[in-house]
Amino acid sequence: MDIIADVLERNGLLFAFVVVGALMLVSGWLSKTLTRGRLQGSAIAIMLGLVLAYLGGIQTGGEDGLADIAIFSGLGLMGGAMLRDFAIVATAYGVDLQEIKKAGAAGVLALMAGIVVSFIVGAAVAAAFGYTDPESMATIGAGAATYIVGPVTGTAIGASSEVIALSVAAGLIKAVVVMVCTPLIAPFIGLNNPKSAMAYGGLMGTTSGVAGGLAATDKRLVPYGAMTATFYTGLGCLLGPSVFYFALVGLFG
């Protein structure tokens, strides 16, 4: 047994390919037999991945889901930021330049609207739960944007670590729910063309959520949504500790 575990740990990335391959095979079969193909195999595989991440998380108490268990550590490499971004950039190969130009203005507007709306919703929820100081409202509002913008904003303006942790949790919830819900809400919000995908990416922001959600909806939409989503975090980190925080200080400080 020790030898097997040792080999799997030393070749973590290879084992991750096998694990994900098996997960996709099972999901494809579930998609065909249980949903008659209505729910895509990739959507089921992403949900299974999230469930495994939960189990890994409560098993080890770590932050990286299943990758915290030593033999599955290769999943952290395979699903880490470098390879993920590399593959996302690759999806842009062959996208239609005309579509991007057509959706350009809507994409920029979606970005601004998405960040402002997330900030406002997050700050309002924070206030409703009794976090009425501008630092806490700004940090939780930023967390509702993404789980990266939350801690960046909180650290910059000196929010308490409890509030920063809550902002991370809010962003994680958003990412997870976007992954699971995108294929379900897609028909109702017209998410079936490059233009609405660019609007969706800009409004949601969470790159991991949008990437997973669109992959599970229609993979041809991925590059368009991912392109706007990747600008969101940077813009959020810029606006959170500055414009948004000072607006809250002016209103409630």
Positions in 225-244 near other proteins (CB under 8 A)? 226-228, 230-231, 233-235, 237-238, 241
- Label residue 205 exposed, middle or buried (CB < 10 Å: 0-12, 13-18, 19+): buried
* Residue 44-63 contact track with other proteins, rule CB under 8 A, x = bound: -xxx-xxxxxx-xxx--x-x
Task: Scan for tokens 């009425």, then name that residue.
Answer: 132
Neighbours of 190 (CB within 10 A): 11
Q: Contact between 38 and other proteins (CB under 8 A)?
A: no
d(CA 104, CA 164): 34
Q: How near is the Cβ of 77 to other proteins at its closest, in Å?
A: 8
Q: Which residue number, 140 or 247, has a Cβ lying nearer to other proteins?
A: 140
Nearer to other proteins, 1 or 175 (CB): 175
Site size toward other proteins (CB under 8 A) is 123
Per CB under 8 A, 118 contacts other proteins: yes
Please report whether residue 138 would count as binding other proteins according to CB under 8 A: no
Name the segment binding other proteins (CB under 8 A); options: 2-10, 177-185, 244-252. 177-185
Shorter beta-carbon distance to other proteins: residue 2 or 61 = 61
Pick 126 or 159: Cβ nearer other proteins = 126
